[in-house]
Structure 1
Amino acid sequence: MATRLNMLPEDCVSTIVSLTSAADACRLMLASSSLQSAAESDMVWSRFLSFDHSAILSRAHSQINFSSKKELYFKLCDSVLIDGGIRIFSLNKISGKKCFVLSARALSISLSDEPNHWTWTTRSSSRFSEVIELKSISNIEIEGRINTQDLSPNTTYGTYLIIQVSDRAFGLDSVASEISVSMNECSVSNTAYLCPLDERKKQLESLLFLNRRRMMEKLVVEGEGRRPNKREDGWMEIELGEFFVGEKSEEVKMNLMEVKGHQLKGGLIIEGIEVRPKC
């Protein structure tokens, strides 16, 4: 393919490459030094950038300097703080599709302004200046919202609550929380636990809490009882659900609630909710 492209004018090559993907353009640059200029052109990489990238740059928390559209593309892939530092925008390196992270400050968290229940703190591992830590509460309610016009069309997105669990955590395994993702009249619900279940907890559960937990599980909707999964950045995530972005602009609500068990709990640290493409 590279040999045939070498026979074409550079602007024709740029047009052809712009119809592929960022990954294809990078492969072509490695395959043929003579095609590198065409594959690196602003014409090509402007096509890979989201159509509203200028609006995203205007929302950036600090100025983003770049000398080419290719450089800008990869800077956006590395993620950019926007909206005063309470959200993160990034592009998927392979597909170029848009991703967002809503910080704890961008979420609606019940009683988050009550110092007896929650405390705002910092974590060196967090990309945000603040995270929120649960001190003690019986009913947890967390909601995030995003409009599909900010996302890539014709794409299935997953939503993930990003958390850590402190050494002082308690009560997070007592009953499953209700999780849901809703858009317009459509809502899909499931259940999840806020703490990973290690071997020691399994043994304690079988000895002490199994009957109580079975009784309390009847209070929530049936579901998978999802558990947090480890992330590469040192945090954990729980998938809240997924939704499909069509051509129409719609608001998506992402919820986690544990309001029926009335079990005191603490030690949950929330960084935010990530919305990213599933394919």
Structure 2
Amino acid sequence: MTTPGDALSSSAVSPAFRAAADSDAVWDRFLPPDHAAVLARADDAGDHLGRSKKELFTRLCSRPVLLDGATMSFGLDRRSGAKCWMLSARALSIVWVDDPSCWIWTADLPGSRFPEVAELVDVCWLEITGKLQLSLLSPRTTYAAYLVYAIADDSYGLECNIGILPPKATVTVVISGNGTKPTSTAASTSTENTICLQHMQGEEETAMHRRRQEYVRPRKNYGWKLVREADMDIRCPRRRGDDGWTEVELGEFAVAGEEDGVVEVSLKEVECRRWKRGLIVQGIEIRPKHTNSN
């Protein structure tokens, strides 16, 4: 039994297989080595005491736990057992978030994992950044970062329109060592993606949106003149099935081994300077990317 799925399948074969497949010895191999240290930071640490290893694994897959004063959450990927993290809006760096004319804090929204979310009141400069230590992630895993958000009924300035520069997302990984030996100079890699925060939902609507919509982007061979062209690589939003919120993939990155360093994820719309309202930010989730997932 090399994966959690193998163990679950074996437990359904017979009572004898079930006893072996449900044992702590089996499920302890699927839990991260540092899970006890992470759970010691849980806001409700007593909730995890006395559980079997299988119960703990299942709990972390279905209901991530809140850590560090409900500023982040920790869970596990059901397929691989890899660690999943979500940074709450309180744990993010949001430009102008301390100005109540620009952002406000809203409590207890339905489906939110955290007690507070950040709601955009009115800005022309949108910039959101989150950072996470690479040592908190699972090695030999490809991760993706997602903005988890909602759109208020009275929103404006967030939709993808012809002639308007869309937001850009950047994922930067800075490696400063291999976990035991620091390097004298940090190695950095960065990727950038074009993001759509608001348009029609559904696969057919998304495909139509990509075919018909045009976006303005600078092109070097035109002397950096802004020209219209279809952007087939734009990252589009989708509805999350578990909590009713919306997410959009900001980018992906790979964790090769036990590196020391940090991954920084940012979303910016600072070029067209149009005024925006109604973006409700729950947080940024970092979880393993499955290429065949919906």
| TM-score, L = length of structure 2 | 0.79
User: Bigger shift: 131-140 or 231-240?
Assistant: 231-240
2:15 corresponds in structure 1 to 33
Alpha-carbon distance between aligned partners in 1 of 2:111 and 2:37, rounded to the nearest angstrom: 28
Q: 1:70 aligns with which of 45, 51, 54?
A: 54
1:109 aligns with 2:99: no
Letter in 2 for 1:165: I
Q: 2:154 aligns with which of 128, 150, 168?
A: 168
User: Bigger shift: 223-232 or 99-108?
Assistant: 223-232
Alpha-carbon distance between aligned partners in 1 of 2:28 and 2:167, rounded to the nearest angstrom: 43
Shift of 1:77: 1.3
2:226 corresponds in structure 1 to 218
Q: 1:48 aligns with which of 13, 22, 30?
A: 30
1:96 aligns with 2:81: yes
Shift of 1:192: 1.0
Q: 2:193 aligns with which of 190, 194, 208?
A: 190
Alpha-carbon distance between aligned partners in 2 of 1:218 and 1:131, rounded to the nearest angstrom: 36
Letter in 1 for 2:191: V
Q: 2:41 aligns with which of 46, 59, 83?
A: 59
1:246 aligns with 2:253: no
1:11 corresponds in structure 2 to none
1:80 aligns with 2:90: no
Indicate if the aligned counterparts of 2:148 and 2:281 stay in contact, CA closer than 8 A. yes
Secondary structure class of the residue paired with 2:122: coil
Letter in 2 for 1:58: A
Alpha-carbon distance between aligned partners in 2 of 1:72 and 1:255, rounded to the nearest angstrom: 32
Secondary structure class of the residue paired with 1:252: strand
Indicate if the aligned counterparts of 1:231 and 1:237 stay in contact, CA closer than 8 A. yes
Shift of 1:197: 4.1
Shift of 1:175: 3.1
Alpha-carbon distance between aligned partners in 1 of 2:42 and 2:21, rounded to the nearest angstrom: 27
Shift of 1:268: 0.6
1:237 corresponds in structure 2 to 247
Shift of 1:67: 3.0
Over aligned residue pairs, what C-alpha RMSD do you find?
A: 2.5
Q: Render the CA deviation track for 1:223-272: whole Å, top value 9, x for unaligned.
A: 63322111112111111100000112220010111111111110111100
Question: What is the aligned residue count?
Answer: 252
Indicate if the aligned counterparts of 1:154 and 1:244 stay in contact, CA closer than 8 A. yes
Q: Render the CA deviation track for 1:2-41: whole Å, top value 9, x for unaligned.
A: xxxxxxxxxxxxxxx4xx2221111111101122222221
Q: Give percent identity, aligned residues only.
A: 41
1:14 corresponds in structure 2 to none
User: Bigger shift: 75-84 or 263-272?
Assistant: 75-84
Structure 1 segments unaligned to the other structure (5+ residues): 1-16
Secondary structure class of the residue paired with 1:162: strand
Q: Which has the larger radius of gyration?
A: 1
Alpha-carbon distance between aligned partners in 2 of 1:66 and 1:269, rounded to the nearest angstrom: 37
**Between structures 1 and 2, the one with greater helix share:** 1
Structure 2 segments unaligned to the other structure (5+ residues): 175-187, 219-224
Describe the shift of the 1:66–1:73 C-alpha distance in structure 2 as closer, same or farther (beyond 3 A).
farther
Q: Render the CA deviation track for 1:84-119: whole Å, top value 9, x for unaligned.
A: 111111111121111111110110000111100001
Letter in 1 for 2:111: S
Describe the shift of the 1:48–1:229 C-alpha distance in structure 2 as closer, same or farther (beyond 3 A).
same
Alpha-carbon distance between aligned partners in 2 of 1:85 and 1:21, rounded to the nearest angstrom: 30
Alpha-carbon distance between aligned partners in 2 of 1:226 and 1:68, rounded to the nearest angstrom: 40
Indicate if the aligned counterparts of 1:66 and 1:72 stay in contact, CA closer than 8 A. no
Indicate if the aligned counterparts of 2:165 and 2:217 stay in contact, CA closer than 8 A. no
| TM-score, L = length of structure 1 | 0.83
Alpha-carbon distance between aligned partners in 2 of 1:249 and 1:120, rounded to the nearest angstrom: 33
Alpha-carbon distance between aligned partners in 2 of 1:158 and 1:67, rounded to the nearest angstrom: 30
